[in-house]
Amino acid sequence: MPVREIEIMGSEVLRTPAVEVEHFDDELRSLVRDMFETMYHAEGAGLAGPQVGVSLRVFVFDMRDEDEGRRQPVALVNPRIVESSKRTMRGPEGCLSIPGVDEVVTRATSVVVEGFDPGGEPVRLEASGHLSRVFQHEIDHLDGVLFVDQLTPLKRKMLLSRWKKLREAEEGS
C-alpha cells in the first residue's frame, strides 16, 4: 500500500470533474487502500481521488472515535449529496492540496450522502457537524471545486497570496 503523491493546487486534475466508477474490482480496492495510507500519512480527515491524480468519483475519510482512539475508515464511491440542510455553519477548512493555509468556509450543517462501498454495495450516510463539512469538501473535489472557491473574492485573493508566499519560502529553503 504505497503512499501516493498528493496533487497541489494548480494541477489540472483538481479542476476537472471526476468520472463515475464503473468497475468495482481489485484495482478500485487497491486505489482505496492507497488513498487511506496517503490520507493517514498526510494526517488528513479525508482524501478524494483527484487529489492523488486519479479522476474517479471516490473519496475516503476516517470517522475516528476520539474517546477510544479507534480508526473507522470509510470509502465512498460515486457519492452524491441527496439532502442538504438549509441551516449553515461557518468553520475553518484546510486542504491537503493547498497545504499550510486555512480559512473559514460556510457549509450546510447536515447532509445525506448516497453512494457505494468499494465492493459495489449501496451506502446511505447522514452527517452533521464536522463530518458534514468533510463530505461536502470531498464531494467538491470530485466536482473540480476547491474550498477556496467557496470564499469571497477578497478572502480568496488574500488566502492565495499567503499560500504563494508559503510556497516561495519552501522552495527557497
Identify which of 41, 155, 45 has the alpha carbon closest to the alpha carbon of residue 90: 155
The amino acid sitting at 128 is: S
Active site residue 138: yes
Specify the pLDDT at position 10: 93
Structure confidence by residue, pLDDT tens digits, 2-12: 899 999 999 99
C-alpha 118/C-alpha 120 separation (Å) is: 5
**Does 23 have pLDDT greater than 60?**
yes
Digit-coded pLDDT (tens) for 35-63 = 999 999 999 989 999 999 999 999 999 87
Q: How far apart are CA 78 and CA 56, in angstroms?
A: 8
Helix or strand run (H / E) with residue 165? helix 153-172
Exactly one of 93, 138, 170, 171 is catalytic; which is it? Answer: 138
* Averaged pLDDT for residues 77-106: 96
- Over residues 120-171, the pLDDT tens digits come to 999 999 999 999 999 999 999 999 999 999 999 999 999 999 999 988 888 8
**Which sign does the torsion angle of CA 150, 17, 54, 34 carry?**
positive
